[in-house]
Structure 1
């Protein structure tokens, strides 16, 4: 371990972690937890889901440090892991329908709304992962093309084309003109 771990570059910290240094990953967490929290919150739009996804993401990174190939920055690798953890958490959410003392029209409208959401989720699940992730980040979570490109570590143009193809496929799957 280096004398001042706070000055060690991220890639070196990850290597130290892989080599068994007990403090190295903690320093990576300290450095990047706030940025990963912001990514998770933008992706999930829910503080509780974001907190769980950040925890999942860092646990996955800790356990799978060997998968880091060094092709990209450690922060990019962490972004991808945290976004995937967010998307996994979002996929697990099942829409709930609470029927209270509402009149029949409101219940019917609510039921139709739930059916539309389920149809959209089903159609999204049929898209290739790249298109699905781009659409979720841009169309559902309001990220800019540049933000989504940064999170997914692809060019802006790639996000634009994935969104365009994904929207066209969604329209076809949903039977829209």
Structure 2
């Protein structure tokens, strides 16, 4: 079957007009990126699938509310992130205490270095890298939901602060503040991995991505909904 060449806006408009296939085409087009955001926001596949499904149901039902003031992809991400945050808030995730600002760079270094594939030389190093990634994912799950969403979008998915602000429906300064607080909290939770802040070896040795902005990448493919 030939790919549908209609634009995102055209597909959404067709869905509103009654095209039974248009929304499915739109979802499949952006599924991987939406799934990656849901997975990293929720922390596990089961909750991520629920959050993504909630978001897509909301988008399906509220498609006529789209006014074109943002890209369709931005709108879809906003709906999915909000659905995930609603689930996290319903689970009564507790607010984490903020820490001194001088820990921020180490929290940022940790989350960028440890999540996502990194080159390893042998099975022993691979096991250590796996344990570190698991520790970071667990720490990320302990953040305040709004901070977690900001870090997922900016540090893990590679969105700019302005793009993340548009998705989250808040000011760019708010996104920066949430990222800063989230990174400092991560620095505390991951202190056992960071070691001496003056020594970057524990997290950055052999990892060419450490300290750099992570480019956008697709996550695992989403389950059907």
Q: Aligned-pair RMSD on alpha carbons?
A: 3.3
Structure 1 unpaired stretches of 5+: 95-116, 124-131, 168-177
1:63 to 61, 64, 74: 61
1:96-133 C-alpha deviation (Å, 9 max, x unpaired) = xxxxxxxxxxxxxxxxxxxxx74x37x9xxxxxxxx76
Is the Cα–Cα contact under 8 Å of residues 134 and 163 in structure 1 kept in the other structure?
no
1:38-67 C-alpha deviation (Å, 9 max, x unpaired) = 010111111111111111111000000011
Separation of aligned partners in 2, 1:93 and 1:134: 14
TM-score (norm 2): 0.49
Q: Which protein has greater RCO, CA pairs closer than 8 Å, 6+ apart?
A: 2
Matched residue count: 132
Separation of aligned partners in 1, 2:91 and 2:145: 16
2:155 alignment partner in structure 1: 144
2:85 alignment partner in structure 1: 87
Separation of aligned partners in 2, 1:89 and 1:160: 23
Question: In the alignment, is residue 153 of structure 1 matched against residue 166 of structure 2?
Answer: yes
1:17 to 12, 15, 18: 15
Separation of aligned partners in 2, 1:6 and 1:17: 14
Separation of aligned partners in 2, 1:23 and 1:64: 16
1:1-177 alignment, distance < 5 Å = 6-94=4-92, 118=94, 120=95, 134-138=146-150, 144=155, 147=159, 149=161, 150-153=163-166, 157-161=173-177
1:103 alignment partner in structure 2: none
Specify whether residues 137 and 148 from structure 1 end up closer, same or farther in structure 2 by C-alpha distance, changes over 3 A only.
Answer: farther
Separation of aligned partners in 1, 2:61 and 2:18: 12
Separation of aligned partners in 1, 2:11 and 2:79: 17
Structure 2 unpaired stretches of 5+: 98-143, 183-225
Specify whether residues 48 and 76 from structure 1 end up closer, same or farther in structure 2 by C-alpha distance, changes over 3 A only.
Answer: same
Specify whether residues 45 and 133 from structure 1 end up closer, same or farther in structure 2 by C-alpha distance, changes over 3 A only.
Answer: closer
TM-score (norm 1): 0.61
Rg bigger for which structure? 1
Higher helix share: 1
Specify whether residues 6 and 89 from structure 1 end up closer, same or farther in structure 2 by C-alpha distance, changes over 3 A only.
Answer: same
Separation of aligned partners in 2, 1:25 and 1:133: 28
